[in-house]
Amino acid sequence: IVISTRVRLARNVRGFAFLSRAEAETRRDIADTVSAAVRRAPLLRDFVHIDVEQLDELDRALLVERHLISRQHAEGAGARRLAFDPTEAAAIMINEEDHLRIQVMRSGLQVEEAWRQIDAIDDALEEHLDYEFHPQFGYLTACPTNVGTGIRVSVMLHLPALRLTNELEKVGQAARDMKLAVRGLHGEGTEALGDFFQVSNQITLGRSEVELIDDFRTSVIPRIVEYELAAREALLRTRPLALDDKIWRAVGALRSARLMSSNEAMQYLSHVRMGLHTGRLSVVDLQTLNELFLQIQPAHLQKLHGERLSGEQRSIERAAFIRTRLSSN
């Protein structure tokens, strides 16, 4: 039910303007300064360095789909970079909205572990960078909503049963009780695709990192997980065939379609995922399914295919790819 945990920190380097007010040359100086710090930190010596400015559109889209950079970073202008751990568990966006956006991703609910890792990366960088820090307010950031700890904790949840039973409002309520926000798969302002929801904090001021992480770990997320489990049990108890119908129709469509959009594929894969987790289905293993979620996305599909594809071509290739991976024999 808990797909992944992400923690990110917003940081800016003292002595440089915030990016909204930075000239092209300043931007480049910032990028060079941060890149140099990453290279010097022993903890980050395996990090891969990417000049996002030099990438073509498809490669940038690929990084977005892998959650290594934000859409804003992909679509931005001027000197901007990415440094990431080869396992893709940790990444540093350079010159996104702030000079640094450090993130750590973990599968499942691992808020504390993610926090410990990102805290270590933050410390390692701070040995080579002088952060903008105000004794009263904390870390200063481009957008006031990040001032303070500069931390954002996001937990991605898969809640198909709550959607089927029309109980998503419970999730909204649980989040609001702790002043957290609920969003769709690709961050702010997007709709929930394939029943994936992201719970994240909105407040970075007046609440310590440890308190925030504790809210996620011991309160909000366990409560939402309980709701989803209860909804699954209720479906299994009262309408097992309605559940099976959803799950098997999803399998049927994925194995049969000749044209499929990524949104539709996400929704069907979501139902298959629920089928695996409720034990109603075993036609596919979880790893194959997780790979499919990633690979059916437009940029991944084109990389896999080795060339640019129009929307209709992607729809054809996506359907064919899914059929191959989910074929019954």
**Contact range with its own copies by CB under 8 A, out of 167-175, 209-217, 229-237, 238-246:** 238-246
Distance CA(4)–CA(318), nearest Å, equals: 25
In the complex with its own copies, which residue's Cβ is closer, 16 or 248? 248
Least Å from the CB of residue 76 to its own copies: 37
**Contact range with its own copies by CB under 8 A, out of 55-63, 135-143, 187-195, 239-247:** 239-247
**Contact range with its own copies by CB under 8 A, out of 3-11, 32-40, 51-59, 252-260:** 252-260
Least Å from the CB of residue 34 to its own copies: 48
Output the six-digit token pair for 216: 């996620």
In the complex with its own copies, which residue's Cβ is closer, 176 or 249? 249
Verify binding: residue 236, its own copies, rule CB under 8 A.
no
Distance CA(203)–CA(315), nearest Å, equals: 40
Q: Which of 245, 285, 294, 308 binds its own copies (CB under 8 A)?
A: 245
**Gap between the terminal Cα atoms of the chain:** 28
**Contact range with its own copies by CB under 8 A, out of 27-35, 116-124, 190-198, 240-248:** 240-248
269-294 burial code (b ≥16 CB/10 A, e <16): bbbbbbbbbbebbebbeeeebeebbe
Distance CA(176)–CA(96), nearest Å, equals: 28
**Residues paired with 11 in a beta bridge:** 100
In the complex with its own copies, which residue's Cβ is closer, 148 or 160? 160
- DSSP-derived secondary structure letter, 69: S
**Contact indicator for 236, 175 with CB cutoff of 8 Å:** no
Site string for its own copies, 257-276 (x = CB under 8 A): xxx-----------------
Q: Under 8 Å CB-to-CB from 167, ≥6 apart: which residues?
A: 227, 231
**Binding footprint of its own copies, residue count (CB under 8 A):** 17
In the complex with its own copies, which residue's Cβ is closer, 303 or 323? 323
Distance CA(177)–CA(154), nearest Å, equals: 16
List residues near its own copies by CB under 8 A: 241-242, 244-245, 248-249, 251-253, 255-259, 316, 319, 328
